[in-house]
Structure 1
Amino acid sequence: MNKIECVCAVGAQLGEGPLWSAKDQAVWFVDIKGRQIHRFDTRGGALTSWQAPEEVGFIVKATGDRWIAGLKSGLHAFTPDTGKFTLIARVDSDRPKNRLNDGYVDAAGRLWFGSMDNEESQPTGSLYRFDARGLQRCDENYVITNGPTTSPDGRTLYHVDTLQRVIYAFDLNDGEIGNRRVFARIEKSGAYPDGPATDSAGCVWIGLFGGWAVQRYSPGGELLQTIDMPVANCTKVTFGGSDLRTLYITTAWKGLSKEQLATQPLAGGLFSTRVDTAGVSPNEVRYDG
């Protein structure tokens, strides 16, 4: 049994995108619907928060000790010292009901992220790549996107179609993706795959929204492990600590009734547990702007 601890009872409406920062020994994450960026100091337990001007889908590091946030309107440079957001590139400006959701940086410094219908009903979402070549739509026709993440060797990219309850795998070659196929389907009743992350063994971890758990899949798509959680909506994991074996898990209270919230007082908190296999250190976006 894995011991689960709520390390920060932040009460995020839609906590998402945890990111380990070794430099400050902190977990950064967002509350999409609360329009907040959070930084949890794992050494002393302090929580620092910034208000975003729009719904914020993710926060990632960039070279030069910089940050990039995915807001509803597009990619923005974020400066923690001032709390300022500066537009880099608009995304889906022709689809005003869309917002950005979840992002990831591969080993080559390319930023991958998704857009989605904020009303969660129309397949207007896409998978994007942002690098020195600019912004590129790489796949589309998603209602709710999540991820992506890549295998440790950088040859496979995983992306989640949440409403279809499927995780896709793509071949990845020099920033180009192809050969989309089903990696795994979520069979657990009432559970929807949320954010993915990979560990150093190439296994894929999936947060289950409505599933009371996170799950670990082998590189071949076999379910290896389920970690039961005390809250229903588990969104994504990141690996932290000096050995990258502390698993941090974001959660959400979005969609829960008052009665359900009463039985899940820690919903929306940041949780942690120890795991046997280390994760992979996060990468930085190679961005010259």
Structure 2
Amino acid sequence: MADEVTTLWRGGALLGEGPAWDPARGVLWFTDIKRRRVHRYDPASGDVTQWDAPAQVGWVLPADDGALIAGLQTGLARFDPDTGDFTHLAEVEPELPGNRLNDATVAPDGSIYFGSMDDSESGPTGRVHRWDGSAAVATAIPAVAITNGPGIAPDGRTLYHVDTVGGVIHAVELAPDGTTGTMRDFARIDPIDGHPDGVTVDSLGNVWVGLWGGWRARLYSPAGAILREVRIPASNVTKVALGGPDLRTAYVTTASIGLDDAQRAAQPEAGGLFSFAVEVPGQPLPPARANG
């Protein structure tokens, strides 16, 4: 398949993240963490609408009550796009005020798996948590400085967790009750190719990963073999989400944070939102549990 990449939005996000396709509304949600903004891209009109968040916001995910659940530095919140209001749901790691939430996905049962990280990107204080609609509980996955993902295989039995600083994507056993088990290396990324950022799993179990500093999105088979690479006109690629009516459009968020003047001149679309076509469709995103 030809790697024709389309620029959808030239908004220059400092830290674009958390793309999630909303099948009910037919739109893509994503965030700019550092500017504390939620964005909604409507492919029918090409419009991007934004809302200010009360804290750094890593992601928003459509919920089963018609609103969205947001991952804020201050914890989980219910976000109503009609009013722009954020209503607190749960604290996460209140004992670690230097941490923030970074990336997330929804499991088939509606629970949210999400990661935290050290906002200074140095200490190994980031954990993977599970929200079941009533409480957020840390999983048994070991702490790292920057968590990314998670992503979940179509059969619901494997969770992919990214240790960005360590340069590795882990495959973690996922039990029917939502608990995590044995962890193994799924793929190790050479720093020359960039650092693994967010992951998304398609309907055949292939794993897309954004490569921070690598100018590309990369696709792995379930066995860990590289199947495809798509070059993006921005060096810091954060995550791929699969959406559109047939789930065959890859939406890619990027970041402009940390670029010097020469780098910004070389990549004027850094921080933009991009898209390209894929052969294998994504998995429909289940609505997240708003209440247990």
Q: How does 1:1-289 map to 2 (within 5 A)?
A: 1-132=2-133, 134-138=135-139, 139-174=141-176, 175-189=178-192, 191-288=194-291
Task: Give the drift of 1:287.
Answer: 2.7
Q: TM-score when scaled to structure 2?
A: 0.96
Classify the secondary structure of the residue corresponding to 1:141: coil
Task: Give the drift of 1:90.
Answer: 0.6
Task: Give CA-to-partner distance per residue, 1:82-141, whole Å, 9 cap, x none.
Answer: 111111111111011100110111111111001110000000111100105622111232
C-alpha separation between the residues in 2 aligned to 1:288 and 1:100?
Answer: 20
C-alpha separation between the residues in 1 aligned to 2:27 and 2:290?
Answer: 23
C-alpha separation between the residues in 2 aligned to 1:133 and 1:61?
Answer: 16
C-alpha separation between the residues in 1 aligned to 2:191 and 2:217?
Answer: 11
C-alpha separation between the residues in 1 aligned to 2:133 and 2:78?
Answer: 16
Contact 1:213 1:229 in 2 (8 A): yes
Classify the secondary structure of the residue corresponding to 1:169: strand
Classify the secondary structure of the residue corresponding to 1:140: coil
C-alpha separation between the residues in 1 aligned to 2:107 and 2:261?
Answer: 40
Gaps of 5+ in 1: none
Pairwise CA RMSD: 1.1
Classify the secondary structure of the residue corresponding to 1:17: strand
Contact 1:124 1:140 in 2 (8 A): no
Contact 1:26 1:39 in 2 (8 A): yes
Task: Give the drift of 1:70.
Answer: 0.4
Classify the secondary structure of the residue corresponding to 2:192: coil
Task: Give the drift of 1:188.
Answer: 4.9
Which structure has the highest strand share of the two? 1
Gaps of 5+ in 2: none
Paired letter, 1:268: G
C-alpha separation between the residues in 1 aligned to 2:20 and 2:187?
Answer: 24
Aligned residue pair count: 289
Classify the secondary structure of the residue corresponding to 1:260: helix
Paired letter, 2:157: R
Classify the secondary structure of the residue corresponding to 1:99: strand
Contact 2:110 2:288 in 1 (8 A): yes
C-alpha separation between the residues in 1 aligned to 2:22 and 2:130?
Answer: 22
Task: Give the drift of 1:61.
Answer: 1.1
Moved more, 174-183 or 22-31: 22-31
C-alpha separation between the residues in 2 aligned to 1:284 and 1:104?
Answer: 10
Paired letter, 1:238: A
Task: Give CA-to-partner distance per residue, 1:220-278, whole Å, 9 cap, x none.
Answer: 11111111111101111111122111111000101211110011110011000111111
C-alpha separation between the residues in 2 aligned to 1:286 and 1:40?
Answer: 23
C-alpha separation between the residues in 2 aligned to 1:150 and 1:121?
Answer: 27
